[in-house]
A and B are shown apart, each in its own frame.
Chain A
Amino acid sequence: MQIYLPIAEVSVNAFLLLGLGGIVGILSGMFGVGGGFLMTPLLFFIGIPPAVAVATEANQIVASSFSGVLAHLKRKTVDLRMGTVLLIGGLIGSGLGIILFNYLKSLGQVELLVQLCYVVFLGMIGTLMFLESLKAIRQASKSGGVSIPKRRKHNWVHNLPFKMKFRVSGLYISVIPPLLVGVLVGVLAAIMGVGGGFIMVPAMIYLLGMPTKVVVGTSLFQIIFVTAFTTMLHATTNFTVDVVLAVLLLIGGVVGAQIGTRIGVRMKAEQLRIWLAIMVLAVCGKLAFDLLVTPSEFYSLGTGGHS
């Protein structure tokens, strides 16, 4: 069934959008990532104008994250205190990110920079996570299937001032590292048009030392607010949020997120991480491939009038 999107001004198959929303929703619920880093390129691919895709995707992430966070709240796997600290950083970061984005836009070549950002960050995080989880799985199988990774390292993170107790995460650390993580994620979220979970999740695990089970819910909690803020910003300044597109994506997305969260519970933390790593690397590879391979069409069209 074809449907005409009022803001994007293109006609697309409604079932295709529902399906895309569903698949990305499952991944979102499983890994605690918003799924934006997958959905945004997919929307470009089916012919949605990039500006509309980025803005609408932000709105859709709100829905799938909200659905996911409710499931996590019931299981008490959300560290609200940590989430709030990350959120404060996130809002500051996304404000900075939009300033940076507009500056890059005035220089031209913003598209390339966004693509390079994707390749570099996805590549880095994907590789790190992949190696880490591979090591964890090997260790787990050596020690007879029982993994005991509860060995707290005291690195520089623990020597900073303004310490705070995060009971759910079982941490007593300074608020500076989570704030900085929030800011970094906010900046990247604004530039890359994603929720930023794929950066936040590994940062929480490896940098802050949070338990994996809490990480997913907490990351979703932060993403809701940052993407809601981004949606409002896009809606009021660029008029690029397509509510019909968003509704179709989110119907698929919220259902998928519920299923995904349940799959996630049944999987081992190491397995979860290795699959996320593989997915991140796959997207990175595709984007790098697009930059390297000779395109079939050398020309592309953009809106005129320096908008």
Chain B
Amino acid sequence: MIRLLALLMVLAMPAKAEEIVLGLSRDEVAITATFEGSEILIFGAIKRDDSTPIEGDLGVIVTVAGPDHPVVVRKKDRRFGIWVNTESVEVDVAPTFYAVATNRPLQEILTFTEDLNTRISTQRAIRSVGSTVEGAERFTQALIRIRAGQGLYQTLPEGVWVEEEALFRTLIPLPANLTEGDYKAEIYLTRDKQIVDFYATTIPVKKVGLERWLYNLAHEHAFWYGLMSLSIAIAAGWGASAVFTLFRR
């Protein structure tokens, strides 16, 4: 909501001198049985109103965010000689996937205040409200570290190529362990660290085919799904036994 308000304020500014025109390599990502990860090519052009003079450093920021889910971050401590979970922090909003690609390091093309308002950087995209544990910051940092290790959180400081200050493109790699949902792609254009234009679109990430069918069956007809799993198990057990008996003869 805050993000939206900030954007409205940005967009309400009179006479936009520059505008984003966008293209996507695909408008949805299908998760099939052999899904090994994928990538989205996001490209576009910067449309310019020639009457206004353009000044300042150009910045292009592309973010792709997966659906938000709450996460519990637990910390281990040594108690009586063994390592056990002691403290925990519940992070209310954490995207399951988050990538920030920029043409230059983020702090060079975006002010701190703009980042606070728009929640572009990974630290800002995560929110934990009302955590009472001291040093909750460390828990969110741990969350980012762990997810970055799984390829789910990515910071690509030179991930956007800009040509002639008019064309830009970026390739966002998607890991294999993606969560289903609507992925939000947002593109920000900055001049002298101030946002001048913004464009947003959604890329649905969906399971298809067998994956979709099994997922739906497991959730909507859990009893039959359970019975199916058991019958497969029994059949496989019997089958293997029969085959081996055949070989022995």
Residue numbers of A with Cβ under 8 A of B are: 1-4, 6-7, 9-11, 47, 59-60, 62-68, 70-71, 74, 108-109, 111-112, 228, 231-232, 234-236, 239, 241, 243-244, 246-247, 250-251, 254-255, 257-258, 290-295, 297-305
Taking a contact as CB atoms under 8 Å apart, the answer to whether A236 and B215 are in contact is: no
20 new A-B contacts, CB < 8 A, other than A63-B232, A67-B241, are A4-B35, A4-B36, A6-B211, A6-B215, A6-B218, A67-B238, A70-B241, A71-B244, A236-B222, A241-B218, A243-B228, A244-B214, A250-B236, A254-B240, A290-B83, A292-B82, A298-B142, A299-B143, A301-B73, A301-B147
8 Å CB contact of B177 from A11, A294, A304, A305: A11
Stretch at the interface among B26-34, B51-59, B161-169: B26-34
Asked if B123 is at the interface of the complex by the 8 Å CB criterion, the answer is no
Taking a contact as CB atoms under 8 Å apart, the answer to whether B230 and A232 are in contact is: yes
How far, in angstroms, from A228 to B237 measured CA to CA in the complex?
Answer: 13
Neighbouring A residues of B31 by C-beta, 8 Å: 4
How far, in angstroms, from A303 to B90 measured CA to CA in the complex?
Answer: 9
Neighbouring B residues of A297 by C-beta, 8 Å: 142, 145-146
A-B CB proximity, top 4 nearest: A304-B70, A235-B226, A66-B237, A11-B176
8 Å CB contact of B72 from A6, A251, A291, A303: A303
User: A299 with B73: in contact, given A4-B31, A4-B176, A239-B222 (CB under 8 Å)?
Assistant: yes
Neighbouring B residues of A292 by C-beta, 8 Å: 81-83
Taking a contact as CB atoms under 8 Å apart, the answer to whether A304 and B236 are in contact is: no
How far, in angstroms, from A243 to B239 measured CA to CA in the complex?
Answer: 17
Asked if B124 is at the interface of the complex by the 8 Å CB criterion, the answer is no
Taking a contact as CB atoms under 8 Å apart, the answer to whether A298 and B236 are in contact is: no
Majority SS at the chain A contact face: helix
Taking a contact as CB atoms under 8 Å apart, the answer to whether A301 and B71 are in contact is: yes
Asked if B179 is at the interface of the complex by the 8 Å CB criterion, the answer is yes
Taking a contact as CB atoms under 8 Å apart, the answer to whether B83 and A62 are in contact is: no
How far, in angstroms, from A2 to B232 measured CA to CA in the complex?
Answer: 22
How far, in angstroms, from A85 to B75 measured CA to CA in the complex?
Answer: 44
Binary contact readout B23-50 vs A (1 if CB under 8 angstroms, 0 otherwise): 0000000011111110000000000000
Binary contact readout B220-232 vs A (1 if CB under 8 angstroms, 0 otherwise): 0011011111101
How far, in angstroms, from A235 to B232 measured CA to CA in the complex?
Answer: 14
> How near does chain A come to B53, taking the closest CB pair, in angstroms?
49
Categorize the interface residue count of chain B: 35 or more
8 Å CB contact of A243 from B77, B145, B229, B244: B229
Asked if B98 is at the interface of the complex by the 8 Å CB criterion, the answer is no
Residue numbers of B with Cβ under 8 A of A are: 31-37, 69-78, 81-85, 88, 90-92, 139, 142-143, 145-147, 176-180, 207, 210-212, 214-215, 218-219, 222-223, 225-230, 232-234, 236-241, 244-245
Taking a contact as CB atoms under 8 Å apart, the answer to whether B218 and A257 are in contact is: no
Neighbouring A residues of B37 by C-beta, 8 Å: 11
User: A236 with B226: in contact, given A295-B76, A302-B71 (CB under 8 Å)?
Assistant: yes
Neighbouring A residues of B143 by C-beta, 8 Å: 299, 301
Taking a contact as CB atoms under 8 Å apart, the answer to whether B233 and A62 are in contact is: yes
8 Å CB contact of A235 from B35, B225, B239: B225
Taking a contact as CB atoms under 8 Å apart, the answer to whether A255 and B240 are in contact is: yes
8 Å CB contact of A71 from B34, B81, B241: B241
How far, in angstroms, from A1 to B234 measured CA to CA in the complex?
Answer: 26
How far, in angstroms, from A113 to B134 measured CA to CA in the complex?
Answer: 26
Taking a contact as CB atoms under 8 Å apart, the answer to whether B84 and A109 are in contact is: yes
Neighbouring A residues of B33 by C-beta, 8 Å: 3-4, 244
User: A304 with B90: in contact, given A1-B34, A295-B76 (CB under 8 Å)?
Assistant: yes
Neighbouring A residues of B225 by C-beta, 8 Å: 235, 241, 243
Taking a contact as CB atoms under 8 Å apart, the answer to whether A246 and B232 are in contact is: yes
Neighbouring B residues of A71 by C-beta, 8 Å: 241, 244
Taking a contact as CB atoms under 8 Å apart, the answer to whether A6 and B214 are in contact is: yes
Neighbouring B residues of A231 by C-beta, 8 Å: 226, 229-230, 233
Neighbouring B residues of A235 by C-beta, 8 Å: 218, 222-223, 225-226, 229
How far, in angstroms, from A1 to B32 measured CA to CA in the complex?
Answer: 13
How far, in angstroms, from A7 to B84 measured CA to CA in the complex?
Answer: 28
Closest to A2 in B: B36
Taking a contact as CB atoms under 8 Å apart, the answer to whether B222 and A304 are in contact is: no
> How near does chain A come to B84, taking the closest CB pair, in angstroms?
5
How far, in angstroms, from A39 to B88 measured CA to CA in the complex?
Answer: 28
Taking a contact as CB atoms under 8 Å apart, the answer to whether B72 and A67 are in contact is: no
Of the A-B pairs whose beta carbons lie under 8 Å apart in the complex, a sample of 25, sorted by A's number, is A2-B35, A3-B34, A4-B35, A10-B177, A62-B237, A63-B237, A68-B237, A70-B241, A74-B245, A231-B233, A232-B223, A235-B222, A239-B219, A239-B222, A243-B232, A247-B236, A251-B236, A254-B236, A257-B237, A298-B76, A298-B77, A299-B73, A299-B74, A299-B139, A300-B73
Taking a contact as CB atoms under 8 Å apart, the answer to whether A236 and B233 are in contact is: no
Taking a contact as CB atoms under 8 Å apart, the answer to whether A258 and B232 are in contact is: no
Closest to A61 in B: B233
> How near does chain A come to B174, taking the closest CB pair, in angstroms?
11
